[in-house]
Structure 1
């Protein structure tokens, strides 16, 4: 209970020694920060993947419309 007061010659440790329990709120804060970073990375990957897929689908639909228009023009020209 009566911790010795460090003298001026002894440096005061900036962080507790490993065997000293830390503030549990810090553990929770670090865990939440880690989880937020992971979710952010997943969201970033998902958004890039979805955007690439949407662009690919749009390109396919554009090509299909162009092909359909070409076929219609071909049929009209053959009549």
Structure 2
């Protein structure tokens, strides 16, 4: 689930990096018998909140209930 979208990030940052990133943000993870990992809260909201908080701290503006009319790639990278 979501493998294609996450493949590049997981190739750049390994499992230990990912576990550490979440731990630094107060998210503890558990490993299921089949190797999958989940927050100990068993709530995807925990992960979503950690990602959203990190994005906001990085200066990302998040708009909800808003349709994107245009996304323009910037020459220096990023989007407008």
Range class of TM-score, shorter chain:
under 0.3
The answer to which structure has the higher strand fraction is 2
Provide TM-score, normalisation by structure 2.
0.25
Relative contact order higher in (CA < 8 Å, ≥ 6 apart): 2
The answer to which structure has the higher helix fraction is 1
Larger Rg: 1
Provide TM-score, normalisation by structure 1.
0.26
